[in-house]
Amino acid sequence: MHHVPENQWYVIALTREITDGLLARTVCGHDIVCYRVPDGRVVALRDRCPHRRYPLSRGRLEGESLVCGYHGFSFDCEGRCISVPGQELVPPRSDVATYPIVEQGMWTWVWIGDRSPGAIRPPATPWIAGDPHWSAVTGMAPIDCRFELLVDNLLDLSHETYLHRANIGTPEVAATPVHTRIDRENSSVLLSRHMEGVECPPFYARTTGLASPIDRWQDIEYFAPSYYQLNVRIAPAGRPPDVSGADPDAFHLKILYGLTPSSADRTYDFWAVCRDFSLDDEEVSATLDAMQQKIVIEDVDALNILERRIAQDTDGTEAVAGIDRGALAARRMIAALTGAKGDAEFEIDAEGIVRARP
């Protein structure tokens, strides 16, 4: 896999997906099987039996042991081969690699890399991890596109106006300029778009009860490579937070994305929509879930198409608009994190045109 940063945390699964069954995922090209053992811990092993390379995810659990479904090699939670049928001894080099795992509420993260994570933790996401002032829905969609296309997509929300017209995109999103701040030290990009006195799209109208005009803020925090947070503030027009920061008339949402490269041209798009209102209202949950899924599928369809086009594109140039500052900075951060600064896949020429390197 080119240009995918390793020694990083990536979301590998929705926590509810990890049960006493065997879940196969591929993260940064690593085939991984994960499962929950009786004491509740999550185990993640390389999904490849060292004997005949059969996927261990096709085997079965016996207590804490994972038994290969082809010839019965068995492995404990540390990946050690503990028995081979028909013989006393276990052959040399028949252990499998394990992967560090952290569960944080609704999402479970895996560490991919040759170094230990040490004290590094995944990004904090309290809104999906027990904070009593928040309620959330979550899901995942696989996309047949390279990771960078999803980064591009999320860092330029002007596309809401065109690709997601039906429930979230109003003309004002594309028309309102954004303020972009690049924080190279933290490999972070901050984008801010504050729309005042604008139309309330169905996504918010149907869940908050607000009617147009509203004030609608989009404050994005992207931490390269794998975590994206859209902080949304929706309020009746003209009622900003007071000087103390109190904001009683507003509704707040945090729309989180875990961006996980699978293979060179596949990506997992994990998402969560968190809100600080109607916490126990299941109809609001169901509405947000359904509308967000529709938005994600619109992105999936577009990015699947775009990947096929880009894979065949012999030209490689891209024109740059002002809105692209954030996405271009993100691409550079990802390239830097892969240590590929010198041979990133694109460059920007004197006229400001993005150009694929030959």
Q: Smallest distance from the beta carbon of 84 to a copy of itself, in angstroms?
A: 5
Q: What track of x and - describes contact with a copy of itself for positions 7 through 46 (by CB under 8 A)? A: ------------------------x---------------
Strand order in the sheet with 8-14: 8-14, 107-112, 101-104
Indicate which single residue of 152, 215, 221, 269 sits in contact with a copy of itself (rule: CB under 8 A). 152
Q: Smallest distance from the beta carbon of 49 to a copy of itself, in angstroms?
A: 8
Q: Smallest distance from the beta carbon of 146 to a copy of itself, in angstroms?
A: 13
The answer to the question of residue 293 lying near a copy of itself (CB under 8 A) is: no
- Look at residues 118, 96, 120 and name the one whose alpha carbon lies nearest to residue 43: 96
CB-count exposure of residue 242 (10 Å: 0-12, 13-18, 19+):
exposed
- The C-alpha atoms of residue 292 and residue 160 are separated, in whole angstroms, by 12
DSSP state for residue 17 in the 8-state scheme: G
Binding to a copy of itself (CB under 8 A) within 47-76 occurs at 48, 50-55, 58-59, 67-73
The answer to the question of residue 306 lying near a copy of itself (CB under 8 A) is: yes
The answer to the question of residue 162 lying near a copy of itself (CB under 8 A) is: yes
Record the tokens describing residue 31, joined without a space: 């085939």
Q: Closer CB to a copy of itself, residue 73 or residue 268?
A: 73
The answer to the question of residue 258 lying near a copy of itself (CB under 8 A) is: no
Q: Smallest distance from the beta carbon of 16 to a copy of itself, in angstroms?
A: 26
Q: Closer CB to a copy of itself, residue 280 or residue 315?
A: 315
DSSP per-residue codes, 26-90: EETTEEEEEEE-TTS-EEEEESS-TTT---GGGSEEETTEEE-TTT--EE-TT--EEE-TT-SSP
The answer to the question of residue 178 lying near a copy of itself (CB under 8 A) is: yes
Q: Closer CB to a copy of itself, residue 286 or residue 311?
A: 311
The answer to the question of residue 346 lying near a copy of itself (CB under 8 A) is: no
The answer to the question of residue 241 lying near a copy of itself (CB under 8 A) is: no
Taking CA atoms, 90 is separated from 61, 84, 333, in Å, by 19, 6, 45
The answer to the question of residue 181 lying near a copy of itself (CB under 8 A) is: no
Contact 275, 251 (CB under 8 A): yes
Q: Closer CB to a copy of itself, residue 44 or residue 178?
A: 178
CA-derived radius of gyration, the chain: 22
DSSP state for residue 157 in the 8-state scheme: G
Instruction: Find residue 18's DSSP bridge partners.
Output: none
Indicate which single residue of 174, 205, 237, 344 sits in contact with a copy of itself (rule: CB under 8 A). 174
Q: What are phi and psi of 278, to 5 degrees?
A: 45, 45
Stretch that binds a copy of itself, among 135-143, 230-238, 277-285, 350-358 (CB under 8 A): 350-358
- The C-alpha atoms of residue 266 and residue 27 are separated, in whole angstroms, by 9
Cis preceding linkage at 213, omega within 30: yes
The answer to the question of residue 344 lying near a copy of itself (CB under 8 A) is: no
- Look at residues 159, 140, 139 and name the one whose alpha carbon lies nearest to residue 149: 159
Stretch that binds a copy of itself, among 117-125, 289-297, 314-322, 333-341 (CB under 8 A): 314-322
Q: Smallest distance from the beta carbon of 309 to a copy of itself, in angstroms?
A: 6
Angle CA 200–175–351, to nearest 5: 155
Taking CA atoms, 262 is separated from 24, 71, 107, 145, 148, in Å, by 12, 28, 16, 10, 12
Indicate which single residue of 310, 336, 340, 348 sits in contact with a copy of itself (rule: CB under 8 A). 310
Indicate which single residue of 272, 302, 330, 337 sits in contact with a copy of itself (rule: CB under 8 A). 302
The residues binding a copy of itself (CB under 8 A) are 31, 48, 50-55, 58-59, 67-73, 81, 84-87, 91-94, 152, 156, 158-159, 161-163, 174-178, 302, 305-306, 309-310, 313, 315, 317-323, 351-353
